[in-house]
Amino acid sequence: SGSFCRTGAAEPLPCPAGTFSSATDLGAAAECTDCTMGSSCGTASTAANACAPGTYTDSTGESVCASCAAGSHQPSSGASGCVACVAGSFCPEGAAEPLPCPAGSYSNATDLGQAAQCTSCTVGHSCGTKSEQPLPCAAGTYTSTTGESECAKCEAGTHQPESGSLVC
């Protein structure tokens, strides 16, 4: 298996990359089976190997699986494509799962490839991990700088009756 023998051959020849064979007694390379979509086959393969999460093949006869492009991911093995990264997350090249935008940032876009593409939270708002939108600080709290993950409580002797405030 994984090879073929031409008439009069002294040694078996390997099935070419992108093909496989679990059968024996093959007489030509054309009798090797093309690797299926979502899998890869190296030289002399006896079976198709499912692409690992974060990789794919979108055609038959592939010898290697391609990594998902930055901004996309693939959680399943044996995939024939990748899916866009979800809002509040980013997906580097080859991602199997989306990674959350860090605390203090947000994103409502669906195709970010790196954490630096997440937007810094605006003043008067907070952004927890994997935020899709900044949340206005509640009455009695504030943020005076960008990139905050939590709103600060007003200090004793001060107050803030409005939401989304920069000061008390």
Q: Is residue 100 scored above 90 in pLDDT?
A: yes
Q: What are phi and psi of 159, to 5 degrees?
A: -150, 170
| CA pair distance 23, 27, nearest whole angstrom | 11
106, 134 contact by CB (below 8 A)? yes
Residue whose entry in the numeric block shows the structure tokens 């979800």: 86
Q: Which among 49, 64, 63 is positioned nearest to 17, based on CA atoms? A: 63
Over residues 111-147, the pLDDT tens digits come to 999 999 999 999 999 999 999 999 999 999 999 999 9
For 3-48, how does the pLDDT look when each residue is reduced to its tens digit (9 = 90+)? 999 988 899 999 999 999 999 999 999 999 999 999 999 999 999 9
Helices (H), 9-153: none
In the prediction, which pLDDT does 8 show? Answer: 87
Cβ 15 vs Cβ 4: under 8 Å: yes
Please classify residue 157 by burial: count the beta carbons closer than 10 Å to its beta carbon, then call 0-12 exposed, 13-18 middle and 19+ buried: exposed
